[in-house]
Structure 1
């Protein structure tokens, strides 16, 4: 490297460092938690995760500690690691905050409406209806997140976008078990939201988004109640 190079020129020559293994393991386990492939309360065995991910136990152990610090995993002395089971209060509080953020984002998106933005929302909604017809829950969850993130970006408020990004994974975690149940109603609500944004009706867009997020919140809490009172849940709660 020539000593006469500018810092930016020198930086452009640097070879990108690979992501540390523990970060890759963290991301892989977190993706399995958010997608519900690993269920709340499920025991996480280091050796099994290591074999599944093709790594040694050390990066798995480090990743589980990070996940514990971020509230995704509970470490119980003498028992091991378990996927965190959110309390009703945790879910209710986060989904309530999400509603406030997204209601304001919808209002601002309507005020800053562009043809390109509306076209993007309609395309996501079209894909959502296709996934609904195919009963492809994973794709519905991903498209739901993408649509809401797009509305956030269309708001033009960078602080809202940043705050929403902080809760995005947990929102998807809570939405996944109710995605099939919400199904057609959810995508109909999305269509109504897009129509309000397209016409620049900020009040209507905020009202539709508020009702939409409230329906999801109630569906999640009802699903939790049903799961807690099911015969399977009762058996799991017994001490053997």
Structure 2
């Protein structure tokens, strides 16, 4: 039955009697309805129990308002009102959801899906970003990003971004600054000059060695020629 604004007889009103259902033995159930009349009293099989209900000190209004919308108010055989919870709810006021998703086990904005057949759950994780039973692991968005080897990849709002090194720019750090181009040109020219100097120095050493070798040959030839002349002189 539906709770009323004003209460009489220790928490019961005439409006509380609408749609008052019971079994012929010991228990009453109260259900919400818009009907507000008392003629249903004639339907009760146990009038004595009904009269005893009026005389009880149980607070029906508290029961009707404290079942959290997940149960029905029930009058037990010892004239106490309790909340009889619907399926998947528990607790004195039926506020506890017994389904596993009630505790929000899925992390990182994952969607929890109750598996009613075995009281388990499944997490539907954000596609391409998180994985794991509870979406607790984050995928590496930089795994295939190299930033042109001129920067470091980092995660920004689940997107791969490049932090470029000095004198590089662009989405993939592929653009060189003018300063860097000049430096590279200077280094290139300097390298060429250095190579030329090294080659010339090497050639100079070779020429010097060849000159020394030629001088030695000439000296030897001169000595041989002198000896021959001396021999001819002795013979004559």
TM-score by length of 2: 0.21
Which structure shows the higher helix fraction? Answer: 1
Which structure shows the higher strand fraction? Answer: 2
Q: Which has the larger radius of gyration?
A: 2
Tell me: higher relative CO, structure 1 or 2? Use CA pairs within 8 A at least 6 residues apart.
1
TM-score by length of 1: 0.21
